[in-house]
Amino acid sequence: MDDNKYIETIQDALGTTRYFYGLRRTDAGELYLGKVDLMSVSDGLQINKPGEAAGNFPHFQRGVDFLEGRDELHTKIYENLNYEQFRWDGRSILYYIDSDGQLTLRVNEPYTYPTGI
């Protein structure tokens, strides 16, 4: 099988689960979005922080979204879980702040973040 056909076969198998997006916030209220492309051997992130097993998120599965990492009082449900919400998508979604200060979204388009700012 040639390389292009092999890549297409893998992409077809991943379908809507190629990209993992995880959202977390710090105690100071800063938001972080983690992104992993399952087609990249260099991408990765840690789902659970080290700690007692009781604080881990036990149900992680490819393709299964999780949006309820905090309860009604905004307390973390799984203390070791790095990303309180996560979802899977077949599209490459990029968020950035444009030159007007607006949060901007690009779907399946590359973006080069400026340096030296």
Spell out the per-residue pLDDT of the chain, length 117, in tens.
577 776 778 777 777 899 999 999 888 989 899 999 998 989 999 999 999 999 999 999 999 999 999 999 988 999 999 999 999 999 999 888 888 999 888 999 887 777 876
Boundaries of every domain in the chain: 3-107
CA distance 29 to 24: 9
Residue 46 tokens read as 């840690």
DSSP letter for each residue of 99-114: TTS-EEEEES------
* pTM listed for this prediction: 0.79
